[in-house]
Chain A
């Protein structure tokens, strides 16, 4: 370090041979210390980065964004997608925003994605974090809309269904189901989201007239359930029964290990002395 005062010419560095590693012992000591610093520093660093990457799983990405892990790795945070968006939908996340620092995201209640047919944000992405193979914008899956039926006007019986009418993929992403209201001679027209068609553009969330939107868009994995692979709905999938998968890996693995060890499952319990 600059231990000298510039006004003292005598302190001018004249030699590069300052002996640091004077002894072997000190060398080992230094190495271990260095390694410790590197490890703890590295762990802290990784923690910060990973934490940041996972901090806001609710952030909506531009159309064509790869799955989170790949997107986070590939996004170079250059903001060119943000510049390319003609509707000012996208923002680069600043600190404490809803998305990892520096990555593009959008909040549909502010400005939704209007699904430009030429996908200019995707075209601007230099790294392929926004998939270059997305050709048709209606195939993008930015998120999935879901309806808070307790606060949706239509679900209370009012004639609203604005989400349905503004949806660019009406009947593919949102449909309306009619049901009798029973309380009077009026039917209810209930909007329902179809996950297969929903792009997550958020035009519905933007248009929802309630004080806080009763239809919201979030990344699909946060809200979408899944029926177990072991069951097929016989009335919806032709030949579903024959396409059942092999028994689960866990079960198979258990069988195998039991054979290996001459040890059948449940023996521990069966042989235990207590009743």
Chain B
């Protein structure tokens, strides 16, 4: 069998992919679900909470997976979600 990759790369910390912080303006959300469906990393999920419009705004399922591609912002029709990059801990 060819080379099997099992080890954690040695420079994993150094690579530091971007980490995202997700901001949701809950009351603007109209519950279309686009951000949840099309997030390539499945970071968002539907929340239990009901907003002013009687819909379930998204909530963050696993913020660590967010790589700030910001497709949720691009595909949200209501300007209800955006992502800011977390400053990397311990300096980049």
Q: Note whether A and B form a binding pair.
A: no
- Seen from chain B, the residues whose Cβ lies within 8 Å of a Cβ on chain A are none
- Seen from chain A, the residues whose Cβ lies within 8 Å of a Cβ on chain B are none
